[in-house]
Chain A
């Protein structure tokens, strides 16, 4: 009994914010895992990370206009991936650059929006909240909407999954088989923009990137088949998120200050440990054979 008390600080299972955090992070990890497998295979981690940052622009813009931040995130992210597609993300070498150009312009707008928000409403805290969303401050009412967006993303992914896999691994072969490579790539980017908007808003843009890339890159190190990798990525993501939440909750009881460490720190550290561990596991199994 005492061991359990040390593992789970009292009140962990009764706390409302903890319930919401567990639910929302599980939804985010469930979506980010499979999507992340494609992101890693296509080498578009930068786009995934950039969309989280560009979402900030939408968030601060929505704040200025007076609509909900989620709408700002969704609108700006869809606009951003459309621009990336037009500039030429489909060429492998140009992807990185197109993402960079769009990100630069987006951050420029963010500077303007935050400046306007700060001068009009004098809220220096707004920038920080948008940038470092915290899991424990997620409102319980966002869960249904989060689940709805997650469902849309998973359906999109299920529709384009097989052609997208071929188009990611071998674009020429896919084109020869009559797959509309560019369209499939754009649908993937749309799914990514929705998923990142969801993740960035609920769990913050740091954790959004961490859960998108980390578990997927880890599972691709140990799984050969993409379907297994997608499932393993979702599982690893949920494990990292839940363990991170537990540790963050427990950390309120840690000496010396009893003030609690940020959730994002624990989750990211766990994701990194998993990634390194999967690398070691692959090497061990490689040398055993």
Chain B
């Protein structure tokens, strides 16, 4: 399980889990799950386009996911954010299918883009992944304070003069970089699931932002490690285990939260709404 070709899988899996767990905390807190689904899913168009014009797939993914982030932020300014996300996503997917039909040599790779090939990562993919991960984490660190404020207490953030649009755009750019970095190695499925399942589980257990973020990273890393080990043993795809373990973590978190909340509510008689905020 720790032979030389598996080492890359462990390293990349851990990097991806740490970034996805941290970014995912904000995804869940801000209610941006749709954008976190749309950006990784849609940016396959970039990969297809890159093949068509003969440049590196990674560059195509980065460019396309950044354009997607810009599109969602701009369209979302006037109109409903979920509508903007849906329209940008279908436009990206439609462009992707156009590129696929024009190049007509890329179809088999769609499967690996969607579901990832973490067990087949070459050493030459480590450096770009690590670089993009560093960029995501750096972006998150720069945005951290205003982002936390606008995610957790949006009224206070507005009162302090923090404008929504730059924060939202910056955040979507971080999600886009995370997506571009993870798609070639683990697929769009795995990154989306990690960005939702682990932080949602963490948030249902604790309300303190810092603690929830740490817990989210820990759950994400645990999920990926367990999934790689199980996939190695059983030969079933990693994405399947990540999906199932994430959902199980979330259900467990909800269960713990409901068990803990019930005696607390009867003891102090505080309305649940007050406790949750």
- Bind each other: yes
Residue A50 at the chain B interface, CB threshold 8 Å: yes
Which residues of A in the span 240-289 have a Cβ within 8 Å of any Cβ on B? 257, 259-262, 264-265, 267-269, 271-272, 275, 279
Contact B94 A265 (CB under 8 A): yes
Beyond A97-B28, A206-B97, A262-B97, is A269–B243 a contact (Cβ under 8 Å)?
no
Contacts of B200 in A (CB 8 A): 97, 100-101
B86 an interface residue at 8 Å Cβ cutoff? yes
- Which residues of chain A come closer than 8 Å to B89, judged between CB atoms? 49, 209
> Which of A93, A127, A207, A265 has most chain B Cβ within 10 Å?
A265
Query: Chain B's nearest CB lies how many Å from the CB of A285?
Result: 15
Minimum C-beta distance from A229 to chain B (A): 13
**A128 contacts B31, C-beta separation under 8 Å:** no
A125 to B114, CA, bound (A): 14
> Separation in Å of the B123 CB from the closest CB of chain A?
25
- Residues B37 and A112 in contact, CB atoms below 8 Å apart: no
Q: Which of B75-83, B139-147, B159-167 contacts A (4 or more CB under 8 A)?
A: B75-83
Q: A18 at the A/B interface (Cβ < 8 Å)?
A: no
> Which residues of the partner chain B approach A124 to less than 8 Å between Cβ atoms?
107-108, 111
Asked if B244 is at the interface (CB within 8 A of a chain A CB), the reply is yes
The answer, yes or no, to whether B218 is at the interface (CB within 8 Å) is: no
Chain B positions 206-265 with a Cβ under 8 Å from a chain A Cβ: 236-237, 239-244, 246-247, 250
On whether the beta carbons of B243 and A107 are closer than 8 Å, the reply is yes
Report yes or no: A268 in contact with B37, Cβ–Cβ below 8 A: no
Q: Are B111 and A265 in contact (CB under 8 A)?
A: no
Q: How far is the CB of A191 from chain B (nearest CB, A)?
A: 18
Residue of B nearest to A125 (CB): B107
Q: Does B189 contact A (CB under 8 A)?
A: yes
Are the C-beta atoms of B86 and A111 separated by less than 8 Å?
A: no
Neighbour of B110 across the interface among A112, A128, A275, CB < 8 A? A128
Stretch at the interface among B58-66, B173-181, B190-198: B190-198
- Total chain A interface residues with beta-carbon distance under 8 A: 55
Query: Given the interface contacts A45-B85, A112-B237, does A210 sit within 8 Å of B94 by beta carbon?
Result: yes
Using C-beta atoms within 8 Å of the partner chain, give the interface range for chain B: 35 or more
Q: Across the interface, which residues of A come within 8 angstroms of B95, CB to CB?
A: 265
B94 touches A264 (CB 8 A): yes
A198-230 contacts to B (CB < 8 Å): 206-207, 209-210, 213-214, 217, 221
Pair A213/B87 contact, Cβ less than 8 Å: yes
| Cβ of A157 to closest chain B Cβ, rounded Å | 20
- Given A100-B200, A107-B193, the answer on whether A112 and B31 have CB atoms closer than 8 Å is no
- B239 lies within 8 A of A111 (CB): yes
Q: Establish whether residues B97 and A264, one from each chain, have CB atoms under 8 Å apart when the complex forms.
A: yes
**A108→B93 contact, CB < 8 A:** no
Q: Are A96 and B34 in contact (CB under 8 A)?
A: yes
- Cβ of B90 and Cβ of A45 under 8 Å apart? no
Closest residue of A by beta carbon distance from B116? A111
B contact residues around A125 at 8 Å (CB) = 107
* Cβ–Cβ < 8 Å partners of B247 in chain A: 101, 104-105, 108
Cβ of B158 < 8 Å from any Cβ of A? no
- Does residue A43 face the partner (Cβ distance < 8 Å to B)? yes
Question: Taking CB as reference atom, which chain B residue is nearest A275?
Answer: B87
- A213-B83, A272-B91 known; A100+B37 contact, CB < 8 A: yes
CA distance A206 to B87 in the complex (A): 10
With A45-B34, A124-B111 given, is the CB distance from A115 to B240 under 8 Å?
A: yes
A111 to B200 alpha-carbon distance, docked (Å): 22
A132 within 8 A of B: yes
B134 to chain A, nearest CB (A): 26
Query: In the complex, which of the residues B80, B94, B192 contacts A43, with contact meaning CB atoms closer than 8 Å?
Result: B80
Digit string of B27-46 for contact with A (CB within 8 Å is 1, else 0)? Answer: 01001111011100000000
A20 contacts the other chain (Cβ, under 8 Å)?
no
Instruction: Give, as a whole number of angstroms, the nearest-CB distance from A254 to chain B.
Output: 12
B110 touches A96 (CB 8 A): no
Residue from the list A44, A99, A111, A264 in contact with B115, Cβ < 8 A: A111
**B101 and A100 contact, CB distance less than 8 A:** no
Residue of A104, A111, A112, A262 near B98 (CB, 8 A) is: A262
Instruction: Using CB atoms, name the residue of chain B closest to A112.
Output: B240
**A40-B80, A105-B244, A131-B110 given; A97·B192 CB < 8 A:** no
Across the interface, do B192 and A104 meet the contact criterion of CB distance under 8 Å? yes
Say yes or no for A186: interface residue by CB 8 A criterion: no
* A104 in contact with B110 (CB, 8 Å): no
B193: contacting residue among A45, A108, A213, A221, CB under 8 A: A108
Interface CB pairs A-B, < 8 A, 15: A49-B37, A97-B28, A100-B33, A100-B34, A101-B247, A103-B192, A104-B192, A107-B239, A115-B115, A213-B87, A217-B79, A259-B102, A261-B102, A262-B94, A268-B94
**13 other contacts beyond A101-B196, A111-B239, A128-B107, with CB at 8 A cut-off?**
A49-B89, A100-B36, A101-B246, A103-B192, A107-B239, A108-B193, A112-B240, A127-B114, A128-B110, A128-B111, A207-B90, A217-B79, A268-B93
- 4 closest cross-chain pairs (CB), A and B: A108-B243, A104-B193, A100-B33, A268-B94
